[in-house]
Structure 1
Amino acid sequence: MPSIIDETVFREPSRGVGLVFLCGALLIAGQQAYYVILKGATLYYATLFIGAGMALSGIAESLPKSRRRASGALRLTAIAVLAGILVIGFVRPELLLV
């Protein structure tokens, strides 16, 4: 009997979802670069974490169907990065704001 983790994390990659995640990560990175470089704003680290998590998810979804294990590892890494935002937000929120 397969577990819910096997069904969700180690499922076959979906190219359409991967394209959405990669475009989202690119938009977030572009927005961050625009405000930091052109507007002189301070770097917002939470946005970098979200962009990295989306990029990892997009890469995981863009892999071929035969690479299910690598895709699952990238998905778990993306979950760990995004969960890291929550942990940092509760433990040391000033690290995300500066």
Structure 2
Amino acid sequence: MPSIIDETVFGEPSRRLAVVYLCGALLLAGQQGYYVIIEGATPFYAGLLLSAGMALSGIAESLPKPRRRAAGVLRLTALVVLVSLLVILFVTPDLLTN
């Protein structure tokens, strides 16, 4: 009997989710680039970490179906990035906001 974690993390990738995650990552990175380059604002590192987590999830979902293990590793890496963002926000928020 497979566990829920095994089915969720190492399940078949979904192309629709890949498009959503990659477009979200691109929008966040573009917004960050606009404010830093055009407006001269300081970088908001939380947005960059969120964008990196979404990009990793999008790459994991865009892999072919036989590459379940690689997709699972990328999903776990994205989860680590996003959880570390939450930990940093609660422990030392000054690291992300300058």
TM range (shorter): over 0.9
Q: Which residue of 1 aligns with 2:49?
A: 49
Per-residue deviation at 1:66?
Answer: 0.4
> In the alignment, what sits opposite 1:74?
74
Query: How far apart in 1 are the matches of 2:92 and 2:4?
Result: 32
Measure how far apart 1:90 and its partner are.
1.4
Question: Residues 30-75 of structure 1, C-alpha deviation per residue, up to 9 Å, x if partnerless?
Answer: 0000000000111000000000000000000000000000000000
Q: Distance in 2 between matches of 1:22 and 1:50?
A: 12
The gaps in structure 1 that reach 5 residues or longer are: none
Task: Give me the whole-angstrom Cα distance separating, in 1, the residues matched to 2:21 and 2:91.
Answer: 28
Q: What is the TM-score of this pair, normalised by structure 1? A: 0.98
* CA RMSD after TM alignment: 0.5
Which residues in structure 2 correspond to 1:1-98 (within 5 Å)?
A: 1-98=1-98
Amino acid at match of 1:71: A
Scaled by the length of structure 2, the TM-score of the pair is 0.98
Which AA in structure 2 matches 1:15? Answer: R
- Code of the residue aligned with 1:60 in structure 2: it is A
Distance (Å, rounded) in 2 between the aligned partners of 1:40 and 1:92:
24
Q: Which consecutive unaligned segments of at least 5 residues does structure 2 have?
A: none
d(CA) in 2 for partners of 1:85 and 1:39? 25
> Which one-letter code corresponds to 1:88 in the other structure?
I
Alignment coverage as a number of residue pairs = 98
Q: List, as ranges, runs of 4+ consecutive aligned residues in structure 1 with deviation greater than 4 Å.
A: none
Q: Percent identity?
A: 70
